[in-house]
Amino acid sequence: MRMLIHIMIIVCFSHIVHAENTAVTKVATSAANWLKIESGVRGISMGGSQVASGRGMTGVHYNPASVAFIKSSEVFYSKSSYLAEISHNTLAYGTRLSTTDYFGIHLFYLNSGPMLVTSEADPNGESGETFTVMNLSLRLTYARHLTDRLRVGGSLKYIREQIFDTRMQSFLFDIGSNFDTGIYGIILGMSVSNFGPEVQFQGEGLEVSVSESTAVTGQLAKITKKFAVPLTFRLGLQKDIFGNEETTHYLTASVDAINPIDYTMHYGAGLEYSWSGLAFIRAGSRLGHDTAGVSFGGGLKIRGIMVDYAYVNYGILTETHQFGISLDF
């Protein structure tokens, strides 16, 4: 019996060590990590669990198939005061093309604000010169109702990142599906995000002046290493606890498993209570994530205009607040 206990302890310890080593080897192994920043206010307040419960353009970051829930047309805008005084904005439009076809366009823009330029000769940035970091993604999404229970979608995404005088740009793809099982109100969702080639930085910031005393004169450009983008797999489910979208009182729960190639698998779980489809209270948590934790928020819908708020606690990295507004027409 003691031998069995010892073996179990050794096995458990080896799994812990392996998990820690895996986490160390995967972290910081991809570029464009800003692609993982969530832009849907509803999803943020529900712990990021939106691959099955995402609806409309607010859910396209998690699953492009969410566009197939648009009833007619909608416009969405959100603004967030992110970590370290960084802000990001989202603007999106989606429409129903036919009884089965849907289209959406989604713009995400992040700006770091001015930062001091430092160097070996001026480590404190006393020159007063500043620079900014800019990240942008523009995605075109097409979604379709294949059956009354199955929705699928795909996005073509142009991304661009600029740091001072260096820049990177590329095209990526997202695909996803949403399936209503018809069993106890369970909906399944899955998606693959940021599928595309490795990226590489270029630009004037990588150029180096060459002395005339050398065999080469003028400018030489440093060649940076190519890095993979953060390919992310999501699998989740939504379950109605009581009521439905047509009843006065409606409570739904959702859970996602999130597995990016540059981080350990983690999870998101959330709840949303709706009163007559007009007032909403949401809460969630991110499990297995090293910084993000508890989140909550709410929404109010009046005459087709939806106003949303989300709060996330990032522990030692402080907290964030995000506001969004959408219009159905």
Residue 150 lies inside a defined structural domain of this protein? yes
The pTM (predicted TM-score) of the whole model is: 0.84
How many residues comprise the chain?
329
Distance CA 295, CA 311 (A): 5
- Measuring CA to CA, which residue among 53, 74, 327, 37 is closest to residue 193? 37
For residue 7, which phi and psi values (nearest 5 degrees)?
-60, -40
| pLDDT score of 208 | 64
> Considering its fold, how many domains does the chain have in total?
1
Residue 3 lies inside a defined structural domain of this protein? no
CATH number at 242 reads 2.40.160.60
For 204, the domain range is: 41-328
192: DSSP letter = E
Residue 66 lies inside a defined structural domain of this protein? yes
Residue 16 lies inside a defined structural domain of this protein? no
Residue 5 lies inside a defined structural domain of this protein? no
Q: 327 is written with which tokens?
A: 């219009």
Residue 300 lies inside a defined structural domain of this protein? yes
Q: Which helix (H) or strand (E) holds 26?
A: helix 2-26
| pLDDT score of 263 | 85
Rounded to 5°, angle at Cα 143 from 142 and 144: 135
Q: With 0-12 CB in 10 A as exposed, 13-18 as middle and 19+ as buried, what is 260?
A: buried
Residue 260 lies inside a defined structural domain of this protein? yes
What separation, in Å, do the N-terminal and C-terminal C-alpha atoms of the chain show?
68
Consecutive 10-residue runs of the chain (329 residues): their mean pLDDT?
A: 36 38 62 90 95 96 97 94 81 97 97 82 82 93 96 98 90 98 93 95 71 57 80 96 93 96 92 97 92 92 94 84 94
- Long-range Cβ pairs for the range 17-25 (8 Å, 24+): 19/264, 22/264, 23/263, 23/264
Residue 194 lies inside a defined structural domain of this protein? yes
